[in-house]
Amino acid sequence: MNGIIQEIRPLSGKKMRFRICLDNGADFLLSRKEVGRYELEAGKELTEEVYQTLFQEVFLPRAKMKAMHLLEQMDRTEVELYSKLKDNGYPEDAISAAIEYVRSYHYIDDERYARNYVRCHQENKSVRRMTMDLRNKGVPDHLIQLALEEENETDPMAQIRRLLEKKKFDLLNEDPEKARKELARAYRFLGSRGFDANDIGNAIREYAQNLEDI
């Protein structure tokens, strides 16, 4: 990567960190000392030789360490890790190399992540909601499908019944208006978790009938 340095801008609230912006649209972060050490100045060309030195001495080791630190905090998908590294100002080639590094040691594994997610959330979330969540986290569809087929052991109606019992919706309130609001609240709550409308309706009717029988 080479180009003309258009701007060296201090980060707001971080006196020792600077964003270096190139005329080709690329940018990255360096400390004040690193800007001086590599003799970077606005209007000056960043040669490929200088960039490769920065890559080997600064970006690559720092991106690897940051990736490891992020994964120590919590398990992440590849897309989530990429986004975090990008937000921290690493250039694309350093991000790609860092992700390949942690992947080679299986520190990041989207299939493992999807399986764990399904096992942990299947009691409180529908298949539709888990699918949506995993897609939003960047997990490929074929891995989501595999995880759901092999890890999900729940029945939607049983899930809804458990959630209704846990939340104790007052569906039989003597005040019709309050009962109506509780019913709407139950539908919203279950709908937000991705359950099918027919399943919700059937489960709520069953739940209300059980309350009447008590």
Q: pTM to 2 decimals?
A: 0.77
3-104, what's its fold? Arc Repressor Mutant, subunit A (1.10.10)
* 49-52 contacts at long range (C-beta below 8 A, 24 or more positions apart): 51/1, 51/2
Q: What are phi and psi of 207, to 5 degrees?
A: -65, -45
> What is the rounded end-to-end Cα distance, in angstroms, of the chain?
73
Tokens of residue 152, six digits = 């999900």
| 214 pLDDT above the threshold of 60 | no
Distance, in Å, from the CA atom of 154 to the CA atom of 6, rounded to the nearest integer, reads: 56
| 50 pLDDT above the threshold of 90 | yes
Give CA separation, 28 vs 11, 79, 82, 134, 208, in Å. 11, 19, 15, 29, 59
* Weakest-pLDDT range from 6-10, 11-15, 88-92: 11-15
Model confidence over 146-155: pLDDT tens digits?
Answer: 999 999 988 8
Distance, in Å, from the CA atom of 64 to the CA atom of 54, rounded to the nearest integer, reads: 14
The answer to whether residues 111 and 140 touch, using CB atoms and an 8 Å cutoff, is no
Domain spans of the chain?
3-104, 110-151, 156-213
Burial readout 100-117 (b: 16 or more C-beta within 10 A, e: otherwise): ebbeeeebbbbeebbbeb
